[in-house]
Amino acid sequence: MPAAVKAAMAAHPDRVALVDDLGGMTYRQLGTRTTRRGTPS
């Protein structure tokens, strides 16, 4: 697992870090998706 993913998971333990098919990091929490910058997608 990339260090960036580990850091993101540590920073947001209530969220599940997902890596989409394009290799971009997204977060999903209660069905809400945001980009790595935290803006809604």
The total number of structural domains in the chain stands at 1
Structural domain for 19, as ranges:
3-34
Asked whether the predicted pLDDT for residue 7 surpasses 70, the reply is: yes
Determine, yes or no, domain membership for 28: yes
Confirm whether 40 is domain-assigned: no
**Dist CA 35 CA 14 (whole Å):** 16
Q: Look up the pTM and report it.
A: 0.27
Is the distance from CB of 25 to CB of 8 less than 8 angstroms?
A: yes
Which residues are within 8 A (CB) of 31 and not within 5 positions of it... i.e. 6 or more apart? none
pLDDT band at 6 (very low <50, low <70, confident <90, very high): confident
Q: How confident is the model at residue 14 (pLDDT cuts 50, 70, 90)?
A: low
Residue 15 lies in a domain: yes
Is 7 a member of any domain? Answer: yes
Residue 23 lies in a domain: yes
17 burial class (0-12, 13-18, 19+ CB within 10 angstroms)? buried
Mean pLDDT across 8-29: 58
41, part of any domain: no
- Does residue 25 fall inside a structural domain? yes
The helix or strand, by DSSP H or E, that contains position 26, with its residue range, turns out to be strand 25-29
